[in-house]
Amino acid sequence: AQSVTQLGSHVSVSEGALVLLRCNYSSSVPPYLFWYVQYPNQGLQLLLKYTSAATLVKGINGFEAEFKKSETSFHLTKPSAHMSDAAEYFCAVRVYSGSARQLTFGSGTQLTVLP
Amino acid sequence: NAGVTQTPKFQVLKTGQSMTLQCAQDMNHNSMYWYRQDPGMGLRLIYYSASEGTTDKGEVPNGYNVSRLNKREFSLRLESAAPSQTSVYFCASSEFGGQVVYGYTFGSGTRLTVV
């Protein structure tokens, strides 16, 4: 079965510091991986996705993620945090089940940006 | 704006009452999904519809029913609401088919409280 695990339910960084949100996956087939962001009282927005092309994926708002097969990881990074980055972030893996392709989500990481 | 529209945004029910959550998308997507979001548990799939005319159970289907009314609309029904169904419900849609991988487009959610 395919799954993702997000390490750290809460992460705090200072404004201007590096953001690193961790995601490890488990999959017996080449995975398709996603990062989503959820701002308060809103739905989820796609940040970036890995679909077996380039291992370094660039997304919106300056975020990027690197697929590392040897470490089964897909960590999300941003060089310099902004106050507006405060949100909850979800890693997800696409699974094949029955008649549909579904997304299975991690439990989320709440990012706090300190002034 | 094009996207996924959910109604209502907020609802309070008494235990035992029934209600239907509505979802509509205007992106001509084939697949639609209902998730619930609970603190610390990420998003869990309730039901999905791979294409018009088909529906399947997800991870947590008990207490819910769904109807794929047409390609645009996918409703979620609670026949007899219970306090354990207090949650935020998200509808999502996606393309389906071929080797191209798409993410999901999410609605803004329905915050349901059962008292």
The per-residue pLDDT for range A29-47, each reduced to its tens digit, is: 778 899 999 998 888 999 9
**What is residue B50's predicted lDDT score, i.e. its pLDDT?**
85
Set of chain A residues whose Cβ sits within 8 Å of the Cβ of B52: none
Q: Does A7 contact chain B (CB < 8 Å)?
A: no
CB contact under 8 A, A107 and B41: yes
Q: Using CA atoms of B6, A41, A19, A28 in order, give the dihedral in degrees to the nearest 10.
A: -40
Contacts of B60 (CB under 8 A, 6+ apart): B36, B44, B45, B46
CB contact under 8 A, B94 and A101: yes
**Do A67 and A74 form a contact (C-beta atoms < 8 A)?**
yes
**What is residue A54's predicted lDDT score, i.e. its pLDDT?**
84
Nearest residue to B74 (alpha-carbon basis) of B112, B113, B42, B35: B35
Q: Using CA atoms of B21, B24, B30, B36 in order, give the dihedral in degrees to the nearest 10.
A: -30
**Do B23 and B4 form a contact (C-beta atoms < 8 A)?**
yes
Residues 46 through 105 of chain B touching chain A, CB cutoff 8 Å: 48-51, 54, 56, 58, 90, 92, 94, 96, 100-101, 103-105
**What is residue A88's predicted lDDT score, i.e. its pLDDT?**
96
